[in-house]
Amino acid sequence: MPSAPAPAGLRRADSWWKSAAIYQLYVRSFADGDGDGIGDLAGARARLPHLAALGIDAIWFNPWYPSPMADAGYDISDYRSIDPVFGTLGDADALIAEAHAHGIRIIIDVVPNHGSDRHPWFAEALAAAPGSAARERFWFRPGRGAAGELPPNNWQSIFGGPAWTRVTEADGSPGEWYLHLFAPEQPDFNWDSPDVRREFEDVLRFWFARGVDGIRIDSAALLCKDPALPDVTGAQPPGPAHPYTDRDEVHAVYQSWRAIADEYSTGVHGAGVHGAGEHGAGEHRERMLIGEVWLPDASRLARYVGPGELHTVFNFPYLNCPWDAAELRRVIDEALALNAPLGAPATWVLSNHDVDRVVSRYGRPDTSFDLERRPYYHSLPVDLALGTRRARAAALLTMALPGSVYLYQGEETGLWEVQDIPDELRQDPIWDRTGGADPGRDGCRVPLPWSGTEPPFGFSPAGAAAEPWLPQPKEWRDLTVFAEWADGDSMLSLYRAALRIRRSVPAFAAMLLSWRQAPDGVLAFDRPASASTADGDAASATTPATVRCVANLSAVPVGLPPHASVLLASGPLADGLLPPDTTAWLQALRAG
């Protein structure tokens, strides 16, 4: 075990997760320490000082566990270790400790809906007979049709094709089918099985004891299935009557997980692997849970959040929303209204490893996004200059909202969606499973450019044995971290400045927002530093501590309201005007 490092860096603020800026680190594509063309923990550790200087509060790591990588690590064969391509458990321990020393908390991904077909339990299930306890941990069923040749029901895989695959029994005969809501290599666990519940509770304890600060729960609404496994009808909305999305039983799972997170938050478990100095008994260090829950109905989404359940859920309606002031206002209000009564903070997210990069989305004639319509979006022209201007404005809008904000790696340097990856190099199972109809998610997962003027742009060390696992566009020479760090007008400089201000100005820590009157196409709101200034529209309600955010999504310049100073703007301001697709943070005038 590593020796205890100084925990000096962790700010001791309670409920850090309520307003944290959380950096999503997609480890395969972040930084390659050993030159095999794939990002790893050594690469991430080496760049922790950079992330600290960027000004983030926490990192969310996509899955780092042993995996055959049929779905880029979301097919896990061992939940208590690290894939050799990424490093070792010792590297993870060191990384957690070093991140803490830098004041950065660590959130990891846990994937409870499904495992890998190479998970020891699945091998056991395949070797065991139909009806055995080993098969009960998954969903094995006989097929329909005279010889069981048809899948047990009509469920479709989210990656395309049927959600069932038939196995060959130990005696060589065609056998039962098993359920996989994603790829065939990702068999769904049966959450009615006590083994499954116990196992995941133990996995949570394993990682909390190692010092992780939070868990991102993958596909969180899908775990529980109707045991009768009825056909799904087209019109069935998610909810208690749906056979597998958002069933009521799932909440008991997260209530038990919350109890575990709370136990570790109060330090009742003692020293943990880093010794008493860091996580000593009685120490209060809050652990959090964030759910990946895609649900159209806000009232159903609300059921996942609150003191007895998850701390937060991702705000996907915000991510999917077009660059339109009225639509955004509606989505923001809905998120705030949903979270406030639950005492939970809203979350704000513009992009992640599953969706098209924001610069490309906002550069299209249709700026909305919907995972299920990616081929349509990819058929549209992209104006990168326009998309970049809007992405800058969106970054300031997003970081001004009350709650926690998730930044997906590469967003801070303005990377775009790489839409022209050669077919033979594509890796996402969505591409294969849809016969090439859906290009999949590789375009937002291309390895980051760090420095230099040609690939691998410092992603891999000099003399690396392999090229980056996905090809980087040569135009990214202008978007390297090194080039942008030195350029005061770059996207990276904007993110750094925004994160610094967001962290240091008290108004951003107070969870308050009050809308201001604004012309059509313009969003304007105040972030008061205290409740006494949070209500009403009167100018006298503002104090110099109030920050006003104004985002112009209209096609014409608008006048800036009176202000004491401009804290930050996403683009040049001229003659007191805020140009189209620009956001400004203003310091309020002294009242009276």
- Could you say which of 93, 169, 263, 324 is catalytic? 263
Strand bridging mode 174-179 / 140-141: antiparallel
Of 437 and 465, the one with the shorter C-beta distance to ligand NOJ is: 437
Q: How far is the CB of 28 from ligand NOJ (least distance, A)?
A: 12
Please give the DSSP secondary-structure letter assigned to residue 393: H
Q: How far is the CB of 359 from ligand NOJ (least distance, A)?
A: 20
The whole-angstrom separation of Cα 57 and Cα 18 is 11
Range 292-331, binding ligand NOJ (CB under 6 A): 292
Q: Report residue 204 CA to chain centroid gap.
A: 19
Q: Which of 83, 117, 213, 218 binds ligand NOJ (CB under 6 A)?
A: 218
Of 75 and 484, the one with the shorter C-beta distance to ligand NOJ is: 75
Compute and round to an integer the Cα radius of gyration of the chain: 24
Q: Which among 356, 345, 350 is positioned nearest to 316, based on CA atoms? A: 350
Binding to ligand NOJ by residue 182, rule CB under 6 A? yes
Of 430 and 511, the one with the shorter C-beta distance to ligand NOJ is: 430
DSSP assignment of 185-225 = TSPBB-TTSHHHHHHHHHHHHHHHHTT--EEEETTTT-S--
Burial of residue 517 (number of CB atoms within 10 Å: 0-12, 13-18, 19+): exposed
| For helices 250-265 and 194-209, angle between their N-to-C axes, nearest 10 degrees | 30
Of 289 and 332, the one with the shorter C-beta distance to ligand NOJ is: 289
Sheet holding 312-313, edge to edge: 312-313, 288-291, 214-217, 105-110, 58-61, 21-25, 404-408, 347-349
Write each residue from 352 to 371 as x if it is in contact with ligand NOJ (CB under 6 A), else as -, in one continuous string: -xx-----------------
Q: How far is the CB of 517 from ligand NOJ (least distance, A)?
A: 39
Q: How far is the CB of 218 from ligand NOJ (least distance, A)?
A: 5
The whole-angstrom separation of Cα 481 and Cα 448 is 9
What is the helix, strand, coil percentage profile of the chain, to 5? 30, 15, 55
Its sign, for the CA torsion 551, 343, 334, 236, is: positive
Range 118-177, binding ligand NOJ (CB under 6 A): none
Strand bridging mode 347-349 / 174-179: unpaired
Q: By Cβ distance, which residue is nearest to ligand NOJ?
A: 74
Binding to ligand NOJ by residue 438, rule CB under 6 A? no
Q: How far is the CB of 448 from ligand NOJ (least distance, A)?
A: 18
Binding to ligand NOJ by residue 406, rule CB under 6 A? no
Q: How far is the CB of 63 from ligand NOJ (least distance, A)?
A: 8
Q: How far is the CB of 114 from ligand NOJ (least distance, A)?
A: 7
Number of residues that bind ligand NOJ (CB under 6 A): 9
Half-sphere exposure of 76 (CA within 13 A, CB side): 22
Across the strands, what pairs with 407? 23
Contact 32, 447 (CB under 8 A): yes
Binding to ligand NOJ by residue 347, rule CB under 6 A? no
Q: Output the CA–CA distances (angstroms, integers) from residue 105 to 3, 20, 287, 289, in the order listed.
A: 18, 10, 10, 13
Strand bridging mode 288-291 / 312-313: parallel
Of 205 and 353, the one with the shorter C-beta distance to ligand NOJ is: 353
Range 508-527, binding ligand NOJ (CB under 6 A): none
Binding to ligand NOJ by residue 542, rule CB under 6 A? no
Binding to ligand NOJ by residue 111, rule CB under 6 A? yes
Range 191-210, binding ligand NOJ (CB under 6 A): none
Query: Is 263 assigned a catalytic role?
Result: yes
The whole-angstrom separation of Cα 99 and Cα 49 is 9
Q: Which of 190, 219, 546, 583 binds ligand NOJ (CB under 6 A)?
A: 219
Q: How far is the CB of 242 from ligand NOJ (least distance, A)?
A: 18
- Could you say which of 218, 278, 412, 417 is catalytic? 218
Across the strands, what pairs with 195? none
Q: Which of 16, 17, 61, 74 binds ligand NOJ (CB under 6 A)?
A: 74
The whole-angstrom separation of Cα 22 and Cα 38 is 23
Query: Is 246 assigned a catalytic role?
Result: no
Of 347 and 587, the one with the shorter C-beta distance to ligand NOJ is: 347
Burial of residue 308 (number of CB atoms within 10 Å: 0-12, 13-18, 19+): exposed
Range 441-500, binding ligand NOJ (CB under 6 A): none
DSSP assignment of 478-534 = GG-HHHHHT-TTSHHHHHHHHHHHHHHSHHHHS---EE----TTEEEEEE-SSGGGS
Binding to ligand NOJ by residue 71, rule CB under 6 A? yes
Q: How far is the CB of 583 from ligand NOJ (least distance, A)?
A: 28
Of 74 and 264, the one with the shorter C-beta distance to ligand NOJ is: 74
Of 91 and 218, the one with the shorter C-beta distance to ligand NOJ is: 218
Written in H, E and C, the secondary structure of 70-82 is CCCCCCCCCCCCC
Range 260-299, binding ligand NOJ (CB under 6 A): 292
Q: How far is the CB of 523 from ligand NOJ (least distance, A)?
A: 29
Can you tell me whether residue 316 is helix, strand or coil? helix
Q: Which among 188, 203, 202, 185 is positioned nearest to 137, based on CA atoms? A: 188
Of 33 and 440, the one with the shorter C-beta distance to ligand NOJ is: 440
Of 316 and 457, the one with the shorter C-beta distance to ligand NOJ is: 316
Instruction: Give me the residues that bind ligand NOJ (CB under 6 A), please.
Output: 71, 74, 111, 182, 218-219, 292, 353-354
Catalytic (active-site) positions: 218, 263
